[in-house]
Every structure is written in C-alpha cells, then in structure tokens.
C-alpha cells in the first residue's frame, strides 16, 4: 500500500492547499518538499508529476495510464530526474557525493526544449541538499522564471543545506510524521498486524518508510533487545559490569547511532507509560527497578537520561573515543537504575 494524493490531505492545510491548486491547474512552478526520512517526500513528488502528466479524463493521477506509470518510474520522456550519484550531464561522473553544476545546466537546457508528449515538463530534483553552491546559484534564474508549463520539484530532508535564495523561490511543503493509525493500516496491507505491527509503528515515529524497513529487519530487533538488556539492568549493577559491557562493544562503533536511537525510543516509550497512561504492559520486559522508574519517575529523571544520550551523540560526532563515551553513558543509566 502506497499513499495516494488523497492520503496526503492528512498532512494538513499546507499540503491540502497545494493539492487543491494542483487539481485546479494552478500549481506553482517551483516547490520544495521537506520532512524527515520516510515521510513520503519522494512519493509525493512522483504523485505530483503523475498528476501533471496523467492522460486520464477523470481524477488525476489515475495511476494506471501509460503516463502515470512512466512518471512513477521516473522514465517518462517529459520527466527529468536529478539525484546524487546519477549524472544527468552526458560527461558526468557516476557515484559523485554531490550534484554538480553541469547537471543543473543540462536540466536547464532540457527545460528549454519542447516537451515530447505535449503536456507539462516536470523536474524531480531529489537529494537537493547535495547541490554544490555553484549548482544552486545556477538554478536560481530558472526557479524564478521557468519556461512555460515547466514544474520543478525539489526534495530534501535537509533544507538548511540550501541557499536562502533557493528556498525563497520555492513554495515550501513540509511533511510531518504520519498518524500511527495510518502507518498501522499500511503495515496491515503488507500482512503485518497485531503486536508485531504495533512495535514497528512505535519505533518508526510516524515514518512509513522506517516502519516498512523495520518489518523485515530482524537484526535490528536483536540489537534492540541486546541494548535494552544492557542499559536497563536490575538494581545493584556494579562498575565491573560497565567495563565488561564496554569491552564487548568496543569494536562496534559502526552501531553507535543505532544504539543511541534505541535508547531514545525506549525512554520515549517509558515516558508514554508514565505520563500518557499507555499501560505498564509495554514495559513487561523491564526488571522491577526500571518498571518502577517508568511508573513513578519525575520529568527531571527522564530529562537526565535523555540529555545523557544527547551528550553521547555530540561526543561521538566530535570523535571522542567510543568506548569511553559508552562507559560514561552506562554509568549514568546504572546510577539511575540503582536509585529505583
């Protein structure tokens, strides 16, 4: 199950306004779609392209005509796709980490030619944050004065990497987390239901893409169980346990981001149990001291642990020794756990 255009009305007035303009043939010529990973940025961009090119006489996009299918696949002759690592310019290098100015210049050249199918021309500029400064500056004039019937849709999860002059020339469309109920329905369409689906939704934080990834990532769930068993330990845990755990993890720096994400999600789940009454059954796997924490801890207790995880992330980004950061974090969690 993929979201259709109607599904995106859930995203609020900002998106609904854009979709209304699209249906009325008044879509602005430059849009900037932003949002967290998995919120459907690329899906929405492709649906807009399909709607602009659909050859159906009814509601567009129909999703079944030749134009819709080719647009969704990024293979329509009047859709130009730009993304990191896939050169558009004839002599471009593959697998580049940036989108160079040559690709933007080639896109501008293409936009200046006649459409092959006689409808609109659509540019889908994925990974927009990867444009070099020269590429972004080269795009400005086209964003401000695009050729007739040309639509440029920029997609990025990091709008802060774009020049303000680029942002100001686009209509901003920010996608937010999807409601849990909607994500559950998506998983149900994939045959994932019950407790398994609820756990995936809980971890995904409103990201459809992440929920679908987690549905098949059994290795993540093994790591999750391991991390929670190491950090949420019974009362009485001593310093020797910290050294043992840090030694067992010292060669796993590549998993540091996953470890911190798991801790943040677990703390968020416990906060829901404490302050939103979602039920202690969610914490059935915790030892008694951490069950008491999730039932009675104050805001300052949660804040202390959340800040510790955030500080650990900052230290790792500054290349502080991974094992030292891990030991410090374990010490904070051990101290909190022993209080309960």
Q: So what's the pLDDT on residue 216? A: 82
> DSSP for 115-134?
PSSSS-EEEEETTGGGB-HH
Residue 94: CA count within 13 A, CB half-sphere = 0
**Positions in the chain whose pLDDT score sits under 50:** 279-282
Element (DSSP H or E) covering residue 82: strand 79-82
Could you report the per-residue pLDDT of 208-253, keeping only the tens digit for each? Answer: 888 888 888 888 888 988 999 899 988 876 677 888 888 889 899 9
Q: So what's the pLDDT on residue 278? A: 53
Could you report the per-residue pLDDT of 38-78, keeping only the tens digit for each? Answer: 889 999 999 999 999 998 877 789 888 999 999 988 889 99
Rg (CA), the chain: 24
């Amino acid at each position: 199950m993929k979201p259709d255009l109607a599904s995106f009305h859930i995203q609020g007035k900002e998106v609904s306004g854009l979709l209304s303009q699209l249906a009325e043939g008044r879509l602005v010529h430059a849009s900037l779609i932003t949002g967290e990973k998995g919120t459907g940025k690329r899906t929405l961009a492709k649906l807009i392209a399909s709607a602009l090119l659909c050859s159906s006489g009814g509601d567009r996009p129909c999703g079944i005509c030749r134009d819709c299918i080719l647009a969704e696949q990024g293979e329509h002759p009047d859709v130009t796709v730009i993304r990191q690592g896939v050169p558009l310019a004839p002599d471009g290098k593959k697998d580049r980490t940036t989108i160079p100015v040559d690709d933007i210049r080639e896109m501008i050249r293409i936009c200046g030619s006649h459409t092959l199918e006689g409808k609109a021309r659509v540019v889908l500029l994925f990974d927009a944050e990867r444009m070099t400064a020269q590429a972004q500056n080269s795009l400005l004039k086209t964003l401000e004065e695009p050729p007739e019937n040309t639509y440029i849709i920029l997609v990025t999860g990091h709008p802060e990497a774009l020049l303000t002059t680029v942002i100001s020339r686009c209509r901003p469309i920010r996608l937010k987390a999807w409601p849990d109920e909607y994500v559950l329905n998506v998983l149900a369409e994939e045959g994932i239901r019950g407790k398994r689906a609820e756990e995936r939704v809980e971890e995904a934080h409103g990201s459809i893409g992440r929920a679908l990834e987690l549905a098949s990532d059994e290795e993540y769930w093994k790591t999750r169980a391991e991390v929670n068993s190491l950090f949420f330990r019974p009362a009485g845990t001593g310093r020797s346990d910290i050294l043992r755990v840090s030694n067992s993890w010292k060669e796993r720096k590549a998993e540091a981001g996953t470890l911190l994400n798991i801790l943040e999600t677990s703390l968020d789940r416990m906060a829901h149990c404490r302050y939103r009454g979602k039920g202690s059954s969610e914490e059935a796997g915790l030892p008694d001291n951490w069950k008491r924490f999730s039932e009675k801890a104050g805001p300052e207790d949660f804040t202390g642990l959340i800040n510790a995880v955030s500080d650990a992330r900052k230290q790792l980004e500054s290349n502080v020794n991974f094992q030292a950061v891990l030991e410090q974090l374990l010490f904070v969690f051990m101290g909190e756990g022993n209080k309960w």
